[in-house]
Amino acid sequence: MRDISRIGARCRALYNVVTTKGLIRQDTCGIITEEKISLLGHPRLHVDWENGVSAAVPPYSVEVFKQSGTN
């Protein structure tokens, strides 16, 4: 079963990330919209970034902020 606890959470890029949609600069914030496994078996977070880019990034490249209302 897939863990969906991070979907809808805010996050920020820990460093510059090059994606197929463009560059995500360090400290850019966004909202996680989906978690999935790539065809090669690597986990990916799909994020809608505040700079208008919507792209998949590796989970280790972002810091997920604690969602309000959770313990």
Q: Could you read off the pLDDT of 15-71 as tens digits, one per residue? A: 999 999 999 999 999 999 999 988 888 999 999 999 999 999 999 999 999 876 554
- 3 occurs within a structural domain: no
pTM of the model: 0.82
Task: Find the helix or strand (DSSP H, E) in which 54 lies.
Answer: strand 54-57
Structural domain total, the chain: 1
- 23 occurs within a structural domain: yes
CATH of the domain at 55: 2.30.30
Model pLDDT, residue 6: 87
Residue type, 51: N
Does 10 have pLDDT greater than 60? yes
- 70 occurs within a structural domain: no
Model pLDDT, residue 15: 96
Domain hosting 59: range is 10-64
- 42 occurs within a structural domain: yes
